[in-house]
Amino acid sequence: MRNKIVCIVGMPGSGKSLVSDELVGQGFAYIRFGQITLDKIEEAGLAVNEDNEKKIREELRQEHGMAAFALLNISKIDDLLTGAHVVVDGLYSWSEYKALKEKYKERMRVIAVYAPPKLRIERLKNRQLKAGDYEQRFRPLKEEEVRSRDYAEIENLEKGGPIVMADFTIINTGTIDQLKQQVKLIIKDVFCD
């Protein structure tokens, strides 16, 4: 059996990173699409904040098109697929989805993680940035930052397409243990086909 790529999609604070971490715990290799943004911010000597992230994301998409993050990460995905199944945290745009689907075809599965806006805002406001979190995956965001990011991702990044085309959807309104249980059930389905 050839290794598969499982892409995690959803809005900020829905639980994408927790799902990705659960898959990593089950032996998946990990790639975070958004890491390119943070790397570019660091290269430019900018502060990591919502405004700079939005600016860099939009610049990358202007330069490489709406499939930018997929195109810029394909070689990394290919390298990781030689040794393991791969989880992609943060597939955003419809164009990224189409680029990966065209390349990986039936090897690719998409898991959408959903939580209502009010719950996502509370989660993001209450996050605690952990020491050594270079990727800043768990940094807190203010309510206005969450709303601004939601609107920008929906309006400018074609984010709805991959969510509605997902092979599986996790409703993440319960505990972390409930979320992990849903992931385990999905993984059984992914590897039974």
Q: How do residues 177-190 score in pLDDT, each as one tens digit?
A: 999 999 999 988 77
**How do the domains of the chain map onto residue ranges?**
5-186
More confident residue, 172 or 134: 172
Output the pLDDT for position 138.
60
Output the pLDDT for position 53.
86
Q: Which of 17, 26, 21, 10 is nearest to 187 (CA)?
A: 26
**What b/e sequence results for 96-119 when a residue is b if at least 16 CB atoms lie within 10 Å of its CB, and e otherwise?**
bbbbbbeebeebbbbbbbbbeeee
Output the pLDDT for position 136.
54
Is 97 in contact with 163 (CB distance < 8 Å)?
Answer: no
Does the pLDDT at position 135 exceed 70? no
Mean pLDDT of 51-56: 88
Output the pLDDT for position 157.
75
Mean pLDDT of 83-89: 95
Tally the residues of the chain.
Answer: 193
Confidence band, pLDDT 50/70/90 cuts, at residue 54: confident
Does the pLDDT at position 133 exceed 60? no
CA atoms within 13 A on the CB side of 93: 21
Pick the CATH number of 5-186 from 3.40.50.300, 3.30.2130.10, 3.40.50.11820, 3.30.750.24: 3.40.50.300
Q: What is the dihedral of CA 56, 101, 178, 136, to 10 degrees?
A: -20
What is the Cα–Cα distance from 187 to 91, expressed in whole angstroms?
Answer: 18
Tokens of 193: 């086909």
**Strand ranges in 70-179 using DSSP code E only, listed in sequence order:** 86-89, 108-114, 168-171
- Amino acid identity for residue 29 in this structure: A
